[in-house]
Structure 1
Amino acid sequence: MRGRLTANAPLAPLVWFKSGGAAEWLFEPKDEDDLSAFLRGLDPAVPVMALGLGSNLIVRDGGVPGVVVRLGKAFAQVDRLDEVTLRCGGGASGILVSSKARDAGIGAFEFLRSIPGTVGGFVRMNGGAYGREVKDVLVECDVVLRSGDCVTLDVGALGYTYRHSALPDGAIVVCATFRGHAEDPATIQAEMDRISSEREASQPLRSRTGGSTFKNPDGHKAWALVDAAGCRGLTRGDAQVSEKHCNFLLNLGSATSAEIEALGEDVRARVRAQSGVELEWEIQRVGRAADDAAPDHIEVKT
């Protein structure tokens, strides 16, 4: 093992909500081979979870058992393969990918600028915004499975639906190939500026938040359902439904993850009662509640 392995690593500083417990183990691999070897040597019973920028995530207050894998700078490269194709590391941000595409004169990636996450995350969940999704530009991705085996999967093998893929638990996307079309960089920049301006005007970007909380149900906008149910500004402890965009939950300062998640459930109950629509979480919720009994500590041999 050439990467860094840390026991009882706090995760709150690494996620946008700035709340939640610690990872039993946090592994930051040196490269793909290091990650593959680590997972191959790890007891198959130990759970593994990938962490990107922590933007679309509630880490529960009791922490995350097993191993959390965080891809660092070694996985953040973006390379141009041909006139319209980019190969991007799983740790590269949406902002970096869209900027590299602009510089290369490749269109179709502008929407990635609005996704506050990494390639690994938005490939797994078919991230999307402004009328486009990852499935529209993805060619294939390289994945390290929980077993440590490395495989390449084309877009058709991922079973994409709205904000969901068929990638198995514990699988980590380490690289992805995207294809767009030739476009004038000035045109690309203008679209990116438009997207940035719209997000700034409508979303609480400078707050402790997790991004869009609920998926849009068929035929509905989640924010409109939340607003119609009277949830704009609703609070629980130091957690609040954003008054600026009510499909966003906020940590006003010292909210626990339990308060944030419970507020989301309050919203779901009110929307169900008002409209009959069952909202589905878009934000991922992981780990144990603070009062859950922790299992025996997992030993990771180095």
Structure 2
Amino acid sequence: MSGTPPGVTISGTTRLYVVLGDPVAQVQSPAMLNPLFAELGIDAVLVPVHAKPEHLERVVAGLRCMGNVDGIFVTVPHKAAAAGLADRRSAMVDVAGSANALRREADGSWYAENFDGIGFVAGLTGAGHDPKARHVALVGAGGAGSAIAAALLTAGAERLSVCDPDTAKLNALAARLDTHWPGRTSTSAQPRLDGADIVVNATPLGLKPGDPLPFRPDLVPRGSVVADIIMKPRETRLLREAAGLGHHVHYGISMLDGQLDSYRAFFGLG
């Protein structure tokens, strides 16, 4: 039985892309990118690679030694570490402090970019929830959360409240954001949802069935949008309970949908 996606043929000329994570069972990018490769007639395949944090540096170094690996996609919990392993970084990576894509350059070096925030905002806006001039509460200041914070401010969010129990990580993000958008970000260790038009879960909470809620949906202001970045399961407990309370909900898969055109341009996929 073939393990390759329909329409994908693996041969000695096939170019490789990998997505690194811990875990990787939830990743959706292979199911979206491999059909795109087939549609465009590109001899390439994207495969998931389970890499634990203590092995990440060695894995990335090993991939550098593989002559047919053209790019790396990065998911939880490696996005901040991946930014530090790149040889060069975009301005977005420097602001966010994290990367979700590494491209192999002609000289063999890794160039890092982050499309999480761009993709999230594109998906949010496409669903009719433009963050411009809105108050957004963001829960989670990790790799994805940091990129989303920068993209929301770039998109014109009037106020951004970011919460994370890791105060060192939270303060470092706030300092980077204030350099570009002074006075528009507030921080807290616990979620502050008062007055929020859009509330975003940018933590991994929701990947596992027994995970606690990242915040209480009953404390979200009436009429607000509740968004999750978790892609699998599509309907997390947070979104299910928020919808039951009458809130508009926004699914995590929209973040990846919003990144596809950016990935195509970044990796030169036609």
TM-score relative to the length of structure 1: 0.29
TM-score by length of 2: 0.31
Which structure has more relative contact order (CA 8 Å, sep 6+)? It is 1
More strand by share: 1
From the two aligned structures, give the one with the greater helix fraction: 2
